[in-house]
Amino acid sequence: MATDGSVLSGARLRTWRWAAVATAVLGLALDQITKALAVTRLDPADPPGYLGGLLHLQLLRNSGAAFSMGSGATVVISLFAAAALVVVAVVVLPRARHRWSLVACGMLLAGVSGNLTDRLLRAPGVLRGHVVDFFALPHFAVFNVADIFITATAVLVIAMSFFGGDSASGKRPQGSGGADDGREGSR
């Protein structure tokens, strides 16, 4: 094990993996609960405004991806999301050994599964369902909790790439290239 504490193993690794799974499950639940509330309580013709008009709760149903791009490719987007979900859950999460990588996996699973659930269960049908979006900021896309999780994951991954590994000191781990630090060979 690396001396800087960045590579997890044993009980600590299992704890962080369970934390990633809990993040995914709780994030999915939060996303679906907020969408259910938006559908039942928001009037699309009269969106309430908050924070001096900075935030509106505008109910929209999005058949496309971010910024409603690809609205004619809903099935392709759904299949891509399903593949991404499987890859993160089956390949990436079991191999992750750093706490921030595990946090990123949990958040990404929450976000992808939240929007994929809409695509599978909402009208007009399986793989063609429209995603419920309801947070609206001025001059920006309308989004949901799942989108927040996906964006936060992207920010975390970018931060990890700039600031290095997961050590408590914030320094990039200096590995020997051996099995101890989770790397095979040098870069």
Per-residue pLDDT tens digits for 72-100: 999 999 999 999 999 999 999 999 999 99
Q: Is 31 a catalytic residue?
A: no
Could you tell me the pTM of the whole model? 0.84
Q: Is 166 a catalytic residue?
A: no
- Give residues with Cβ within 8 angstroms of 44, minimum separation 6: 58, 59, 60
Torsion of CA 8, 161, 78, 33, to 10 degrees: 70
pLDDT-based confidence at residue 184 (cuts at 50, 70, 90): very low
- Phi and psi of 50, rounded to 5°? -135, 165
Which of 43, 46, 118, 133 is catalytic? The answer is 133
Res 166: pLDDT: 53
Res 2: pLDDT: 38
**How many other CB atoms are found less than 10 A from the CB of residue 54?**
10
